[in-house]
Amino acid sequence: MAILERLHDNQSLFLPEIAQRPQGRYVHYVMIRETESFPVFQTDGTLNVIPTQAGTVNGASAERFSRLVLFKRKQTSPERLTGRELLRLHNIITDDGCAYNSENFCKRCPDCIHYGYAIGDAGAEKSKVYVDSAFSITRYEDSHKSFHFNALWEHGTMTDRGVTRASFGEQDHIVPQVFFPAVVTLRDPTFEGFLYVLGNLLRTSRYGAQETRTGRVENHLVGITFTSGEVFSNLRFAQEMYQRLHDAGEMEHLPLERGAVLATAAEAALALLDQEPVTQYQTFLGEELVTLLDEVLALYQDDAKTRGLLQALDAKTRAYASLHGANNKKQAGAAKE
């Protein structure tokens, strides 16, 4: 694990302990989320859609169309639950000790401290993982399909003893190989926190409604960059990619070819990074990124190493909570005043 060993002690990239106040260090996971089945990203029964400028060409001739939207919570919730599942597997949390989305958050485990919580007067922790809504590269009209559904009796038909069920309808689904460029950011990372959030991204594979039946999504990491501030938005990323794919003639052939999308994503990310008013401390792309991800994969395939990582992370989050968290008596008293 040459790269991970080198990163472990790199104090210019990672903090030794979790910081209470912003320290101006960010790690950005630059991704392409690719649908691999027929997921449903919806609110109020319809797919989320928004009109936007297509690419980066401005002026009266700028092309405009509606894009599918993958809202932020539909990204973070599955990834957070993936992390909690792993924490539970290795006895870092228990159902009695930390209950998700309730007043019984433990307020000190890796999930609570990194992804945050808000429990009214009982305390709150701001998320250190920044996520925003992601937008499809392709237009809505090319990215969805309507399907009819029904609810059968056990013998396989809609009719039983002369009675026909009325349980049928129609619903829009996103089709396979629709690509959502996305950037997930971890603020002021520790080495263990960096690997925990990265592992959640790599290990999560189902998103949206009806996830036990559909919703498969592959998260392709195309870059990881450490900077002194936040970088480009998901919409700018999608528009930059659309323009490059359009100019190369790739938009004429749908679905988009995966290799072309991933190659264009790396190029677009580099171009956008160069426009940002931040210091780039280190960026992983290409072969170096592949080597890093192989090492992370090997770590998560080793049960003992995974447990060791989570235990080390848990020790740091509990130390942070004891000093700065809602369970801290001094902090709680100050909040009441």
| pLDDT tens-digit readout, 77-90 | 999 999 999 999 99
Report whether pLDDT(73) > 70.
yes
Report whether pLDDT(330) > 50.
no
| Better pLDDT: 140 or 61 | 140
Which residue in this structure is represented by tokens 């009675």? 163
| pLDDT tens-digit readout, 112-157 | 999 999 987 778 999 999 999 999 999 999 998 876 554 444 554 4
pLDDT band at 44 (very low <50, low <70, confident <90, very high): confident
pLDDT at residue 147, rounded to an integer: 60
Report whether pLDDT(216) > 80.
yes
pTM, 2 dp: 0.91
**CA nearest to 116, candidates 66, 166, 76:** 76
pLDDT at residue 335, rounded to an integer: 39
Q: Which segment of 30-44, 209-223, 245-259 scores lowest on mean pLDDT?
A: 209-223
Q: How far apart are CA 209 and CA 104, in angstroms?
A: 25
Q: Which segment of 2-16, 211-225, 311-325 scores lowest on mean pLDDT?
A: 211-225
Computed over every residue of the chain, the mean pLDDT equals 90
Instruction: Sketch the domain layout of the chain as residue ranges.
Output: 2-141+175-329
Q: Which segment of 146-155, 206-215, 221-230 scores lowest on mean pLDDT?
A: 146-155
pLDDT at residue 337, rounded to an integer: 36
Q: How far apart are CA 132 and CA 50, in angstroms?
A: 15
pLDDT at residue 123, rounded to an integer: 83
pLDDT band at 332 (very low <50, low <70, confident <90, very high): very low
The whole-number average pLDDT for the span 266-276 is 98
pLDDT band at 159 (very low <50, low <70, confident <90, very high): low
pLDDT at residue 158, rounded to an integer: 47
CB 196 within 8 A of CB 313: yes
pLDDT at residue 100, rounded to an integer: 93
Q: How far apart are CA 331 and CA 236, in angstroms?
A: 40
Report the half-sphere exposure of 35 (CA within 13 A, side-chain side): 30
288-324: burial string, b at 16+ Cβ within 10 Å, e else: ebeebbebbeebbeeeeebeebbeebbebbbebbeeb
Q: 300 is written with which tokens?
A: 């998560």
Helix (H) and strand (E) counts for the chain? 9, 16
Report whether pLDDT(162) > 70.
no
pLDDT band at 96 (very low <50, low <70, confident <90, very high): confident
CB 235 within 8 A of CB 258: no
List beta partners, residue 182: 31
Report whether pLDDT(331) > 50.
no
The whole-number average pLDDT for the span 263-278 is 98
| pLDDT tens-digit readout, 183-192 | 999 999 999 9
The whole-number average pLDDT for the span 151-168 is 51
Report whether pLDDT(272) > 80.
yes
- The CA distances from residue 162 to 155, 157, 165, 167, 296, in Å, are 14, 11, 10, 15, 58
CB atoms within 10 A of CB 198: 22
